Amino acid sequence: MDATLTLIANREATSLTPLDIETVSTLSGGREDTVLSPGEAVDIVCAPVSPALLDTIRAALGDRPLDLLLTDGNSRRKRVLVADMDSTMVATETLDDIAAEAERLRPGIGEAVAAVTRQSMNGEIDFQTSLRNRVALLKDLPSSLLEAAASHLRLNDGARTLVATMRASGAVTALVSGGFTFFTARVADLCGFSEHHANHLNISGDTLTGTVREPILGPDAKLDHLKRITETAGIPLGDALTIGDGANDLPMLRAAGLGIAFHAKPVVRKEIVNRIDRTSLRSALFAQGYTVAEFRDA
């Protein structure tokens, strides 16, 4: 069975060169290439490539602002998209953003929350414990901090395009986050996701209680939503794309036909073969064989 290597340039920093394409083709034994976006993305058809060889090719490209993704020849265009929110569809961790807004009321809380977030995303402590511990630090703070944090939401480049293009092709799209519904509702609306799921912060009056509604949506729940969505739609897991950055995304990244680590933490980059390290969410479309002419906006 043929494989496809998709070579993508960071369009803000560079353009693909003939040498870039030749390097990938030579090392992979590539036989033909197809331009997906002039100067930005190209498909190279080749024999199956091992993870070790993929790493070798990436190393040969050096420090060039390029990404290289690997897919097999069949079912490249996925019919389900399940995406993480924090540091994936949006640029920051929204719980960290809440804590940063609270800094003037409770000095030191910003770094305290961010430190636990880093431990959790690197897989150093389990997600459920880390979430409870971080939320507990917010006890008795005003719920208006949520609105203040939401005002800083910034979608990552290509977020709207990824969702809109896959929806236009008939895909089911879901935003599934270990964050909070207060934010996923807004991001889902901005991007056009079919559905969204996250945790619910408990609020009493206009004050945060420092607790989150149980059960907590963590790694296993993300995988469960992926399975539910595919089963309901009658679509095999092999026809699903998942994308995320943290340790709590690993179960759904492993299970999908195409799991992509997006600017991910080391523990995720170490395990997941397909990674977007230097480019944008547009690359998840190029990896499925979409041309730039097929891209849609929300």
Same domain, 193 and 179: yes
**Active-site choice (33, 67, 86, 245):** 86
Of 9, 5, 65, whose CA–CA distance to 29 is shortest?
A: 5
What is the C-alpha to C-alpha distance for residues 179 and 197, in angstroms, rounded to an integer? 9
Establish whether 224 is a catalytic residue: no
Q: The domain containing residue 30 runs over which residues? A: 1-74
Alpha helices in the chain (DSSP H): 18-28, 51-60, 94-101, 109-121, 127-136, 144-150, 159-168, 181-191, 219-233, 250-255, 266-271, 282-286
Same domain, 1 and 83: no
Q: How crowded is the C-beta side of 234, counted as CA atoms within 13 Å? A: 0
Same domain, 67 and 82: no
Contact in structure between 8 and 283 (CB atoms under 8 Å)? yes
Of 69, 29, 76, whose CA–CA distance to 51 is shortest?
A: 69
Same domain, 213 and 85: yes
**Active-site choice (20, 67, 84, 239):** 84
Same domain, 83 and 5: no
> Tokens representing 252?
């759904």
Domain count, the chain: 2
Residue 252 lies in a domain: yes
The pLDDT score that the predictor gives to residue 121 is 87
- The number of residues in the chain equals 298
Same domain, 3 and 83: no
The pLDDT score that the predictor gives to residue 274 is 98
Residue 286 lies in a domain: yes
CA distances from 249 to 3, 4, 200, 243, 252 (A): 25, 25, 19, 8, 6
Same domain, 66 and 84: no
DSSP 236-295: -GGGEEEEE-SGGGHHHHHHSSEEEEES--HHHHHH-SEEESSS-THHHHHTTT--GGG-
Same domain, 193 and 233: yes
Instruction: Tell me the longest C-alpha to C-alpha distance in the chain.
Output: 64
Residue 127 lies in a domain: no
- Spacing of C-alpha 292 from chain mean position: 20
Residue 227 lies in a domain: yes
DSSP 86-105: IIIIBSS-HHHHHHHHTTTT
Same domain, 84 and 62: no
- Spacing of C-alpha 36 from chain mean position: 21
Task: Specify the pairing of strand 3-9 against strand 41-46.
Answer: antiparallel
What is the C-alpha to C-alpha distance for residues 233 and 221, in angstroms, rounded to an integer? 18
Residue 103 lies in a domain: no
Residue 143 lies in a domain: no
Same domain, 209 and 82: yes
Residue 255 lies in a domain: yes
Q: How crowded is the C-beta side of 141, counted as CA atoms within 13 Å? A: 25
- Spacing of C-alpha 164 from chain mean position: 15
CATH number of the structural domain spanning residue 198: 3.40.50.1000
The pLDDT score that the predictor gives to residue 21 is 98
The pLDDT score that the predictor gives to residue 286 is 98
The pLDDT score that the predictor gives to residue 73 is 74
Same domain, 32 and 80: no
Same domain, 245 and 172: yes
Establish whether 86 is a catalytic residue: yes
The pLDDT score that the predictor gives to residue 101 is 97
CATH number of the structural domain spanning residue 10: 3.30.70.260
Per-residue pLDDT of the chain (298 residues; tens, 9 = 90+): 799 999 999 999 999 999 999 999 999 999 999 999 999 999 999 999 999 999 999 999 999 999 999 999 778 999 999 999 999 999 999 999 999 999 999 999 999 999 999 998 888 999 999 999 999 999 999 999 999 999 999 999 999 999 999 999 999 999 999 999 999 999 999 999 999 999 999 999 999 999 999 999 999 999 999 999 999 999 999 999 999 999 999 999 999 999 999 999 999 999 999 999 999 999 999 999 999 999 998 7
pTM over 0.85: yes
Residue 117 lies in a domain: no
